């Protein structure tokens, strides 16, 4: 079993090759056993390639799923700006 602290990384080319094997009719069980890929990972790659042509999660999100990601990113940016202003306030407050 894979170490959850160090997940395996697969190249886009490898993922496409695995999906091609699946599309050509190779049984799912054989692919999973031969390449050590879990069932859900294989089907996520297949679904991604079919839907958007990519296995990247960011490419396969709907606009509704992207909204919270964008909001968190914007929130982080604003928090950093506030921190900078808090540090600068004493400098500008001096008379």
Residue 32: phi and psi, rounded to 5, are: -60, -45
Per-residue pLDDT tens over the stretch 9-60 = 888 899 989 999 999 999 999 999 999 999 998 998 888 888 776 666 666 6
Q: Where are the alpha helices (DSSP H) in 1-95?
A: 12-23, 28-35, 39-52, 63-93
CB 53 within 8 A of CB 60: no
CA 44 – CA 81 distance, rounded (Å): 37
pLDDT of residue 50: 82
Segments making up each domain of the chain, as ranges? 12-93
Residue 55's pLDDT is what? 66
């Amino acid at each position: 079993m894979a170490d959850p602290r160090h997940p395996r990384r697969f190249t886009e080319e490898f993922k496409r090759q695995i999906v091609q094997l699946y599309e050509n009719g190779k049984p799912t069980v054989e692919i999973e056993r031969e390449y050590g890929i879990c069932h859900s990972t294989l089907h996520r790659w297949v679904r991604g390639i079919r839907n958007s042509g990519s296995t990247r999660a960011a490419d396969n999100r709907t606009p509704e799923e992207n909204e919270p990601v964008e909001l968190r990113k914007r929130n982080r940016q604003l928090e950093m700006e506030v921190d900078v202003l808090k540090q600068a306030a004493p400098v500008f407050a001096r008379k």
